[in-house]
């Protein structure tokens, strides 16, 4: 299970990027995207922005918009802040990833080994309530830290977030929930 997390500003500009893997079920916490997939991820996430704009005015009142888009085995979850900054999380369940052959190249054998183990893990079924809950908790924690980041009087909205402390906090949230 690999994750690609990105914060998108109000002008569709990226503010923060982070790649990580699951730490549950003996995961090593590293992302296992291939070099090709890493570039592709940015396109997939970017194309999902259109859907975010469609659902953000319709989908109830909740900030957390759940899984909004799917591209082969890549699921996109979205969280939208009060200031219309978008948190997008691309998640790629290991089992389906090996089945479709997308991602996990160069680690095929280990991927097959983990897929049997991770079938019960949080991320194995991207639309299950447990996964949604875990992602929601992750987003809420990141939101908390994001608000702290914008409280910085020298930070203006839509500036890139460079703080290493913020990065650590996001990494910690990823380890804790995903």
Residue nearer to other proteins on the CB measure, 82 or 129: 82
Contact 63, 137 (CB under 8 A): no
163 binds other proteins (CB under 8 A): yes
Number of residues binding to other proteins, judged by CB under 8 A: 28
Kindly state the DSSP code that residue 37 receives in the 8-state scheme.
H
Residue nearer to other proteins on the CB measure, 20 or 166: 166
Three-point CA angle 14, 163, 123, nearest 5°: 60
Least distance (Å) between residue 142 CB and other proteins: 12
172 binds other proteins (CB under 8 A): no
Angstrom distance (rounded) from CA 92 to CA 39:
14
11 binds other proteins (CB under 8 A): no
Q: Return the number of other C-beta atoms located less than 10 Å from residue 120's C-beta.
A: 10
x/- binding map, residues 77-106, to other proteins, per CB under 8 A?
A: ---xxxxx----------------------
Residue nearer to other proteins on the CB measure, 34 or 56: 56
Count of all residues that appear for the chain in the document: 178
Place of tokens 């054998």: 109
* Identified binder of other proteins from the candidate list 25, 34, 42, 63, rule CB under 8 A: 63
Q: Are strands 14-21 and 64-71 parallel, antiparallel or unpaired?
A: unpaired
Q: Helix or strand or coil: residue 65?
A: strand
Binding site for other proteins (CB under 8 A): 10, 57-58, 61-63, 80-84, 143-152, 156-157, 163-166, 169
């Amino acid at each position: 299970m690999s994750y690609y997390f990105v914060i998108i500003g109000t002008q569709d500009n990226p503010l923060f990027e982070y790649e990580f893997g699951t730490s549950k079920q003996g995961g090593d916490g590293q992302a296992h995207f291939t070099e090709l997939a890493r570039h592709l991820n940015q396109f997939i996430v970017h194309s999902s922005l259109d859907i975010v704009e469609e659902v953000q005015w319709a989908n109830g009142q909740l900030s957390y918009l759940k899984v909004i888009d799917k591209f082969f085995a890549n699921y996109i979850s979205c969280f939208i802040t009060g200031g219309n900054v978008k948190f997008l999380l691309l998640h790629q369940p290991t089992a389906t990833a090996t089945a479709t052959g997308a991602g996990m190249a160069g680690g095929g054998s280990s991927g097959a080994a983990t897929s049997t183990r991770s079938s019960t893990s949080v991320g194995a079924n991207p639309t299950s309530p447990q996964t949604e809950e875990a992602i929601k908790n992750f987003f809420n924690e990141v939101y908390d830290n994001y608000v702290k980041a914008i409280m910085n009087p020298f930070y203006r909205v839509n500036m890139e977030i460079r703080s290493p402390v913020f990065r650590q906090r996001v990494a910690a949230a990823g380890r804790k929930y995903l």
